Amino acid sequence: MKKELKINEAANFLGVNPDTLRRWDKVGKIKPLNSGLGNHRKYDFLQLEYFLLNNIDYFAKKWINDDSSNLPNDLFYCPDSYIFQGRINKLKKELEKAGIDNNLSFLILAITGEIGNNSFDHNIGNWSKVVGIFFSYNIEKREIFLIDKGQGIFSSLKKVIPNLSDDFIALEKAFTQAISSRYPESRGNGLKFVKDVVINNKINLYFQSGKAYLILDNKNKEVKIKKAKKYFKGCLAKINF
């Protein structure tokens, strides 16, 4: 990638409209190298990367709301579990660098690995629009995002529990009962483990699949499923620590 990008190239890299970049320039959200020179705006590539990683929330929402098969930015996209594993290793280094306690880091890596690998394991051959996951984090903000546009918990569990009625029951079962949707595998412990770790440590989890979501932390130890404002077919997890 070039070091300096024209406005169209920068917009393309961020996955936004050039007008959005012009608007962001006016409000000071992201300034080009030569601010105020109309179409000749140029952007520093490293600055754009930094901007992406500081606004994961915005780009995650944008990708979630995009019904096309567009991929997330390369910085966020893990097309397969091997790339995901590589990025987990990088996360470990970032946690160390930030001075996060070893025991907390151990657990953050374990629950991130469980949620991300669940997406790969449960969607093999069943991805809907995009194969792979959105995985990114900002250590300064203490946040990690894991999103897949797969079949979601309900469709996944319905294969082994045919009378399962909706997203709400499916999400509750996924976090409270040992059921594997990978028939004929008999085990399913990933999200139960995630729950145990989250409610017993200084970690907060938002998890949504379909219309259902839950929030867990050391004050919200019970699995209480709520109705999300917006439907999302796959799985969306945000971890704060």
Partner 1 sequence: MIIELKKFGAILNSRQLGREAFLAFSSNLDKCTEAEKIYIDFSGLSSISPSWADEFLVPIFKKFPDKVILKKEKDSPVVFVTNILEKTNNIKFNWE
SS3 (DSSP) at 160: coil
Tell me whether residue 109 or residue 228 sits nearer to partner 1 (CB atom). 109
15 counts as binding partner 1 under rule CB under 8 A: no
Cβ proximity to partner 1: between 188 and 234 the closer is: 188
- Considering only residues 100, 109, 161, 215, which one is a binding residue for partner 1 as defined by CB under 8 A? 109
Residue 150 binding partner 1, by CB under 8 A: no
Q: Which is nearer to partner 1, 8 or 85 (CB)?
A: 85
As a whole number of angstroms, the distance between CA 126 and CA 123 comes to 5
Using rule CB under 8 A, residue 106 touches partner 1: yes
Burial class for 15, CB neighbours closer than 10 Å (0-12, 13-18, 19+): middle
Nearer to partner 1 (CB atom), residue 118 or residue 208: 118
Residue in 10, 63, 72, 105 binding partner 1, rule: CB under 8 A = 105
* Inter-residue contact 198 to 217 (CB < 8 Å): yes
Give whichever of 104 and 228 is closer to partner 1, judged by the CB atom. Answer: 104
Asked whether 84 and 78 are in contact (CB, 8 A), the reply is yes
Q: Which is nearer to partner 1, 10 or 197 (CB)?
A: 197
Q: Contact with partner 1 (CB under 8 A): which of 6, 61, 62, 92?
A: 92
Report if residue 89 touches partner 1, rule: CB under 8 A: yes
Q: How far apart are CA 43 and CA 84, in angstroms?
A: 29
Tokens read off for 108: 């953050």
Tell me if 193 contacts partner 1 by CB under 8 A: yes
Query: In residues, how long is the chain?
Result: 241
> Applying CB under 8 A, which of residues 129, 142, 158, 192 lies at the interface with partner 1?
192
Tokens of 43: 């952007």
Which of 56, 114, 153, 157 is in the footprint of partner 1 by CB under 8 A?
114
* 239 touching partner 1, by CB under 8 A: no
Q: What are the CA-CA distances from residue 176 to residues 146, 152, 221, 226 (Å)?
A: 20, 17, 12, 15
Task: Among 200, 221, 227, 231, indicate the residue that binds partner 1 (CB under 8 A).
Answer: 200
Element (H, E) at 103: helix 102-123
DSSP alpha helix (H) spans, 159-203: 167-176, 190-199
φ/ψ of 5, rounded to 5, equals -120, 140
Query: CB of residue 9 vs partner 1: minimum separation in angstroms?
Result: 36
Task: Please choose, from the candidates 127, 169, 175, the residue with its C-alpha nearest in 3D space to the C-alpha of residue 161.
Answer: 169
Chain contacts with partner 1 (rule: CB under 8 A): 81, 85, 88-89, 92, 103, 105-107, 109-110, 113-114, 117, 120-121, 178, 187-190, 192-193, 196-197, 200
